[in-house]
């Protein structure tokens, strides 16, 4: 994936390594770390073992790592423990013991990702508790909404950090990558984290141990049915973001029928947005003009879908306490995300737009 200087120049987005938990900064005794997870039994002595990273891909293990052997759909991490040990792993988390002379923490079958999230959260010191956290879910609009909100945050003199489609090989990476990224964001003095949260991430416990201050629901259209099988199951997975233990306030697109259902189903406080909030809406090829809460907005990206994205970002910005001026400036200074209805201007006498879409509706 090519990094686009326009979307990276803000500093909100940094490339995330998909294979391990990132730069090795903390160090923690295994005897302390093991108290974070629920083990069935332990093979070997945890005392005196120092952990300096959390890995789940044997190809990216570094000396001092603890390796989590995930039994996935296509590969079983237990088959790669030899490789992890050869690369310097000091302990492994397993669902079944392997005949190797290394400390092994055995967890219940099927619970590896749950325990890995707990492990990573403890290792990195629960970084999400020290940052305002915004999670964005929905079939379409997650990336653009996240960058619009980041633009608003910068207009409010904040330093946002964005995790999402442009960060790495997955929209929402595995829990050790997320926890390390949040830890690094704090080290870099970022003061708000904005994360795209996919349905796969919710179902596979990648965002476990994180409580989002705000959860945004953009829409739900047909996608990922090879995984979820039915739209109802797809919706129920997305709705997990808005559970009491996971999110404090919801921001929901009430014009979407699934969003309307979510407002009825949710047990947390929900604030809604609708296209009707964009008063005196005028749309053109270069962008849209509308009035929001009495503030005129000149949006420099085209399409009704981007008006919806702007409404979601503005609502979240308001909840975060950003001023109307910051919301206006942030939205009006936003010039789009690479490959999302991106206008190319090279002095040609005709218009060119580059657009990328994962779904028919997005296209």
Residues 115 and 177 in one domain: no
Residues 142 and 45 in one domain: no
Query: What pLDDT score was predicted for residue 5?
Result: 29
Mean pLDDT within 129-141: 96
Q: Among candidates 129, 48, 130, which has minimal Cα distance to 90? A: 48
Determine phi and psi for 239, rounding to 5 degrees: -65, -15
Q: Is residue 4 in some structural domain?
A: no
- Is the pLDDT score of 126 beyond 50? yes
Query: What pLDDT score was predicted for residue 6?
Result: 30
Comparison of pLDDT for 200 and 15, the residue scoring more: 200
Query: What pLDDT score was predicted for residue 354?
Result: 64
Residues 163 and 297 in one domain: yes
Question: To the nearest whole percent, how much of the chain has pLDDT over 90?
Answer: 79
Separation CA 269–CA 222 (nearest Å):
27
Q: Residue 224 sits in a domain of what CATH number? A: 3.40.1190.10
* pTM for this predicted structure: 0.87
Q: Containing domain of residue 151, as a range?
A: 127-338
Q: What residues have CB less than 8 Å from 110, skipping those under 6 apart? A: 95
Residues 170 and 248 in one domain: yes
- Per residue in 84-118, pLDDT (tens digit) is 999 999 999 999 999 999 999 999 999 999 999 99
Residues 36 and 53 in one domain: yes
Q: What residues have CB less than 8 Å from 265, skipping those under 6 apart? A: 239
Residues 290 and 198 in one domain: yes
Q: Is residue 42 in some structural domain?
A: yes
- What is the helix, strand, coil percentage profile of the chain, to 5? 35, 20, 45
Residues 187 and 327 in one domain: yes
Query: What pLDDT score was predicted for residue 171?
Result: 84
Q: What residues have CB less than 8 Å from 181, skipping those under 6 apart? A: 14, 16, 22, 161, 163, 167, 173
- Is the pLDDT score of 363 beyond 80? no
Q: Is residue 349 in some structural domain?
A: no
Q: Residue 91 sits in a domain of what CATH number? A: 3.40.1390.10
Q: Is 44 exposed, middle or buried (0-12, 13-18, 19+ CB in 10 A)?
A: middle
Q: Is residue 312 in some structural domain?
A: yes
The whole-chain average pLDDT of the chain stands at 89
Q: What residues have CB less than 8 Å from 141, skipping those under 6 apart? A: 218, 219, 305, 308, 309, 312
Inter-CA distances, 280 with 171, 256, 273, 276, 328, Å:
35, 21, 16, 9, 16
Residues 86 and 177 in one domain: no
Beta bridge partners of 269: 249
Look at residue 22 and give its three-state secondary structure. Answer: coil
- Most confident listed range (15-19, 65-69, 74-78): 65-69
Q: Determine the Cα angle at 150 with ends 145 and 153, to 5°.
A: 130
Residues 201 and 255 in one domain: yes
- Per residue in 153-194, pLDDT (tens digit) is 999 999 999 999 887 667 899 999 999 999 999 999 999 999
Indicate the helix (H) or strand (E) that contains 141: none
- Measure the N-to-C terminal CA separation of the chain; round to a whole number of Å: 20
| C-alpha torsion sign, points 331, 333, 339, 345 | positive
Residues 55 and 169 in one domain: no
Q: Is residue 66 in some structural domain?
A: yes
**Phi-psi region for residue 157, left (φ > 0), alpha (ψ -120 to 50) or beta?**
left
**Phi-psi region for residue 212, left (φ > 0), alpha (ψ -120 to 50) or beta?**
beta
Separation CA 89–CA 358 (nearest Å):
37
- Is the pLDDT score of 139 beyond 60? yes
Confidence of residue 356 (pLDDT cuts 50, 70, 90): low
Separation CA 10–CA 334 (nearest Å):
11
Query: What pLDDT score was predicted for residue 351?
Result: 56
Contact by Cβ (8 Å): 356, 339: yes
Strands 50-51 and 287-292: unpaired
Contact by Cβ (8 Å): 348, 356: no
Question: To the nearest whole percent, how much of the chain has pLDDT over 70?
Answer: 84
Q: Among candidates 184, 227, 247, which has minimal Cα distance to 163? A: 184
Indicate the helix (H) or strand (E) that contains 60: none
Query: What pLDDT score was predicted for residue 19?
Result: 52
- Is the pLDDT score of 1 beyond 70? no
Query: What pLDDT score was predicted for residue 209?
Result: 98
Residues 197 and 274 in one domain: yes
- Is the pLDDT score of 322 beyond 50? yes
Q: Is residue 346 in some structural domain?
A: no
Inter-CA distances, 327 with 168, 192, 320, 332, Å:
28, 15, 11, 8
Confidence of residue 8 (pLDDT cuts 50, 70, 90): very low
Residues 305 and 206 in one domain: yes
Q: Is residue 324 in some structural domain?
A: yes
Q: Based on the structure, what is the number of domains in the chain?
A: 2
């Amino acid at each position: 994936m090519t990094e686009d200087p326009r979307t990276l120049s803000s500093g909100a987005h940094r490339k995330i390594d998909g294979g391990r938990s990132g730069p090795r900064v903390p160090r923690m005794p295994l005897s302390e770390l093991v108290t974070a997870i629920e083990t069935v039994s332990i093979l070997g002595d945890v005392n005196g073992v120092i952990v300096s990273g959390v890995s789940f891909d044997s190809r990216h293990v570094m000396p001092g790592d603890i390796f989590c052997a995930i039994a996935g759909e296509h590969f079983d991490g237990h088959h790669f423990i030899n490789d992890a040990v050869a690369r310097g792993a000091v302990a492994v988390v397993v669902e079944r013991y392997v005949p190797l002379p290394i400390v092994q923490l055995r967890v219940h079958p099927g619970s590896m990702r749950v325990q890995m999230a707990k492990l990573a959260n403890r290792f990195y010191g629960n970084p999400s508790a020290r940052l305002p956290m915004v999670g964005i879910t929905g079939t379409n609009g997650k990336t653009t909404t996240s960058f619009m909100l980041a633009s608003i945050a910068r207009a409010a003199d904040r330093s946002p950090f964005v995790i999402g489609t442009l960060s790495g090989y997955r929209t929402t990476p595995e829990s050790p990558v997320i926890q390390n990224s949040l830890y690094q964001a704090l080290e870099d003095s970022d003061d708000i984290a904005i994360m795209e949260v996919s349905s796969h991430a919710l179902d596979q416990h990648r965002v476990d141990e994180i409580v989002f201050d705000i959860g945004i629901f953009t829409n739900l259209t047909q996608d990922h049915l090879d995984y979820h099988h039915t739209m109802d199951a797809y919706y129920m997975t997305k709705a997990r973001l808005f559970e009491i233990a996971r999110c404090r306030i919801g921001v929901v697109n009430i014009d979407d029928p699934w969003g309307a259902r979510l407002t009825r189903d949710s047990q947390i406080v929900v604030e809604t947005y609708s296209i009707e909030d964009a008063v005196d809406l005028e749309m053109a090829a270069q962008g849209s003009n509308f009035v929001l809460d009495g503030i005129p907005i000149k949006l420099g990206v085209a399409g009704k879908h981007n008006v919806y994205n702007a409404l979601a970002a503005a609502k979240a910005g308001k909840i975060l306490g950003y001023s109307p001026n910051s919301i206006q400036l942030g939205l009006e200074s936003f010039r789009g995300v690479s490959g999302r209805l991106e206008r190319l201007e090279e002095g040609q006498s005709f218009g060119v737009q580059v657009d990328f879409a994962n779904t028919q509706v997005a296209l």
